[in-house]
Chain A
Amino acid sequence: MLAWTIYLSFAGALVLAILPKAKPALVRWLALSVAVAGLAVAIAGFISGMGQGLTVFVDLPWMPSMGIHFLLAADGISRVLVLLTGLAAVAGVLFSWNIELRANEFFAFFLALIGGVYGVFLSFDLLLLFVFYEIAIVPKYFLIAIWGSTRREYAAMKLAIYSFAGSAMVLIGLLAAYATAGSHSTSLIELGHAGFPASFQMWCFPLVFTGFAILAGMWPFHTWAPTGHVAAPTGASMLLAGVVMKLGAYGCLRVGIALFPRGLDPWGVSFLGIGSWRDVFAVLAVIGIVYGALVALAQSDFKFVIGYSSVSHMGFVLLGLMTLNQIGMTGAVMQMFSHGIIAGLLFAIVGRIVYDRTHTRQLAELETMHLSRRLPFAAWAFVIAGMASMGLPGFSGFVAELQVLVGAWKVNPWWVAAAGVGIVVGVAYTWRALQKAFFGDLLPSAHVLEQEHGHELAAITWPEVTGVVMLAGVSLFVGLYPRILLDTIEPAVKALLAGGVQ
């Protein structure tokens, strides 16, 4: 059933692409209904898949001479991420409601991107996964380059080249695995049983992992992320931070770790406490957490704060993956979901609710605008989103980061110590942005009040309210009742770990 998420999205994209240009309202509603239908399918698939392991729903021979199948399947991890994609898609359409320029093309690219993302999460054939992964690159480029802002052509090209370079590394690994396995199949299940030699895994793992991790925003390959997020139109930055970075993390997990577990083994020599690829990537993840947070603290552009916070939060995902234990990896998947929701919410507030009304993202300028009075909804939405982003208990981020840290503690307490610094700085930059953007110290003088009275900011519209309530509600719900996701994630992670990882 989940396969329909893919078909619906691509069909929607195709219909929108050939729709007459002059009807943005029709286009919006169509896009929204496709996204909602996708979400409905995702929810139904999530509920019906509870308590089930890996289920295959489509398996057709695709390129028979090469043994490649059109193989769609889902386990707990996939179901959770498909659910996230559905939510992000609906929210993305809601916050793109004011797109007037070439609206049909915008939503066509948007839905094509969503379709590719669904496809990656549901593919259990490595080549098919790769195909969907690459399908997602091209719409990203056009979404940013056409509808973006700040240095959009540069950012779009940078993002496309980074993504393509990452996928080229994955492709090399894929070809090598295909040639080495000799099993005449690229099914993840069969490749998992191929028993690659340890020496092969030792070089193929870092290649594939890095290839995917580029898209997950791993330091030092993260630089596409802040520029891309900032330049992208709101809906697209919500998708980029919300689901596209998860593609990378998912690939790291599903392909890198699951296929080449021996690549994580110790080298036998250790230098400065680093004795395996696992240590290398864990250290990079920790650096990403701290570095992203520190850089976010120093930004003067509101959107860049959120952009760098994404790098920091994705560091937790990678750190969780490198723990290789049940709780840490469960936490990593939780963090993927949680960050997808929260980052989407933050970008929506900054890019759509605030920027489209004030036409500036400079914190120094926003400080003088008294937004807490003029846009109380935005201010309170950001307070909630900020609390979720800091990882306060009661929100999804808390559960996720706690699990990652517990898992990491079991492996190496120093990682936790360093990541803890990142969390503290995270509180600081969120607080700073919150205060500067919304709760400036200066009280407005009577004159300014009068002036502002003449230039009322546009009222908050219903799509914005709906989107904020939906995303904040999900984060809160998952934070209060994490079992709803954990029950699905945990068995899948257990199965993955039993499959040779550890």
Chain B
Amino acid sequence: MNYADLFRVTLPETALEIAALVVLIVDLGFLRKAALNLRVTVAALLGVAGCGAALWTVGLQNGSGFFVDGREVLVVGPVAVIAQVGILVLTALTLLLLIDENFTHHVGEFVAVVLMAAAGGLLIVAAQDLLVIFIGLELLSLGLYILTAFAKRSGKSAEAAMKYYLFGGMSAAFLLFGFSYLYGLSGSTNLAAIEQGIPQQGMPLLYVAWVLIVAGLGFKVAAVPFHLWAPDTYEGAPAPAAAFIASVSKVASFALLLNICYGLFQPGKTWSGPPQLLNEIFRTEFAIWQPLLIILIVVAAASMIVGNLAALAQVSVRRLLAYSAIAHAGYILLGVAVRRPYTGQVDTIHFVLDSFRPAFRSTNAVLFYVLTYGLTTIGAFGVVSVVERATGSDRIDSFVGLNKRNPVLAAVLLVLFLSLAGIPPLVGFYAKFNLFAAVLGVSAGPVPFALVALAVAFSVVSLYYYLQVLKRAYVMPTVDESPIKAHPVTMAVLVAIAAAVVVLGCFPALLQNWIESFYS
């Protein structure tokens, strides 16, 4: 144990916590009598500065993590660093979109909670120890519950927060229960130690543990059947909170899922559990699977189907975004679950995964997807919130005539929604293509192929509901032609996000090379 390492590795979290305190002091101490506009601006800018400082400290890491008793607890690896940068950038964007909001008078507290939740996110993407993971996850989740409830004048906000909290508490219990089984089986809370400590002959308890963990994490990423909180929360939460949940929390949770999956399934290792017959079927029929991963695959397929079909029926754009988020979680989970078979040993087919090191394509693809998805969805919530403030509702019909009322906003909406639908040359298309290509890998069997076909087929379905919103923005005649005004900062951020979506779509190598640079 080396406290200097701990200090260095947790510098980004520290920076965020300090920023949170500074925001509170400034807002409650100096600006108590100031106008709300000024307070929001100052708090948001301080928060952004905190994110910037944390970003800078992420750059200071020299590559070695924090060890306790020879076991790595906090890692400074590719996934962790990429996800941390993503979390910080997305948090800063969320805070910038806050400047125009007026749902609360307690802006200092709001920004502080956002920063602390982001710190929780930073922690879980680096953690290699079940306890640290759980603590980080709770820090993140508790922050999200508070943020959801922040619009005190809105009954929906309170209802959403209550639902979110109850579901969240339950899923945290599942997760902890699963973790406790892992500890019981292996005698350690460290992922690497668990991986070594679990007997080669797997046991039913392990499957139970895995199901419980998937339930807990499936809740975080809003995967079917653990998705029930998402539509209500997205609908009821104040827009910046919803954007934060949809983007930052997604990035952190998927990075955590990657860490756990790869931490527990090291290359070259077979878990042949007692259901020998089942194992045999997987081995012969599907050729590449770790049987446990089938849970993830079922969840992924269910998310794609349910998310896309349910989104068709929505009349609230926020709920539509929630179901679309569920569908996107399904695509991403596909990338987490199905991977290129390990080609190191040809004699025995292992249900194994790529090694971490060279050209780790599906991890790359998942990270690329989740980062760009987070960016797009923040922008989408930004547009929704502007429209909502002008029309008083997020109903799909309040977007009618947006093109006349604010052409720039309509253009941003067009770009972001088409990107979510996966239309080239926007980044959503490349993210999907990259992910599916990684899933198919080099010698994919029929099942991964069928899953990709399912995903592509359902992205056709998704075009319909995205077009329903765009149709209202561009096609349908409007009665009310009064212009919709938005704060210049909000507009600038939204335009920047849309521009990034276009540029990254045309030149995906920009982001791709950056991600790959961590593996060299």
Contacts and interface: CB of A to CB of B under 8 A. Distances in A.
Nearest to B404: A102
A131 interface: yes
A146 interface: yes
B460 A168 contact: yes
Interface stretch (A136-144, A411-419, A452-460): A136-144
Interface stretch (A61-69, A345-353, A425-433, A485-493): A61-69
Interface in A133-154: 134-135, 137-138, 141-142, 145-146, 153
B460 A66 contact: no
A165 B425 contact: no
Nearest to A109: B474
Nearest to B512: A65
Nearest to A161: B464
Contacts of A280: none
Nearest to B418: A138
Interface stretch (A35-43, A176-184, A222-230, A326-334): A176-184
B135 interface: no
A165 B471 CA distance: 19
A249 B480 CA distance: 44
Interface stretch (B77-85, B220-228, B449-457): B449-457
Interface stretch (B388-396, B436-444, B487-495): B436-444
A146 B470 CA distance: 12
Q: Which of A134, A168, A179 counts the most chain B CB atoms within 10 A?
A: A179
Interface stretch (B43-51, B207-215, B249-257, B426-434): B426-434
A65 B430 contact: no
Contact of A131 (B425, B434, B441, B459): B425
Contacts of A160: 463, 467
A118 to B, nearest CB: 15
Given A145-B475, A146-B474, A172-B456, A179 B423 contact: no
B249 to A, nearest CB: 28
Interface in A163-216: 164-165, 168, 171-172, 175-176, 178-179, 182
B433 A157 contact: no
A131 B426 CA distance: 10
Contacts of A178: 437, 440
Q: Identify whether the interface residues of B are mostly helix, strand, loop, or mixed.
A: helix
Contacts of A182: 442
Interface residues of A, number: 32
A402 to B, nearest CB: 39
A65 B516 CA distance: 9
Given A65-B512, A176-B449, A135 B425 contact: yes
Contacts of A172: 452-453, 456
Given A63-B509, A165-B460, A134 B436 contact: no
Contacts of B187: none
Contacts of B460: 161, 164-165, 168
A2 interface: no
Interface residues of B, number: 34
A54 to B, nearest CB: 25
B205 to A, nearest CB: 37
A179 B437 contact: yes
A168 B308 CA distance: 15
Contacts of B444: 179
A176 B440 contact: yes
A59 B276 CA distance: 53
Nearest to A61: B509
A145 B467 CA distance: 11
Interface in A83-112: none
B424 interface: yes
A61 B441 CA distance: 21
24 contacts: A62-B507, A63-B430, A63-B508, A64-B509, A65-B516, A130-B424, A134-B429, A135-B424, A137-B423, A138-B418, A138-B423, A142-B474, A145-B474, A146-B475, A157-B467, A160-B463, A161-B463, A164-B463, A168-B460, A172-B452, A175-B436, A175-B440, A176-B440, A178-B437
Interface of A: 61-66, 127, 130-131, 134-135, 137-138, 141-142, 145-146, 153, 156-157, 160-161, 164-165, 168, 171-172, 175-176, 178-179, 182
Given A164-B463, A168-B457, A172-B456, 13 more contacts: A61-B509, A63-B508, A63-B512, A127-B433, A131-B424, A131-B429, A142-B474, A157-B464, A157-B467, A165-B460, A171-B433, A172-B453, A182-B442
Interface of B: 418, 423-425, 429-430, 433-434, 436-437, 440-444, 449, 452-453, 456-457, 459-460, 463-464, 467, 471, 474-475, 507-509, 512-513, 516
> Nearest 4 A-B pairs (CB), nearest first?
A179-B440, A131-B424, A145-B475, A168-B460
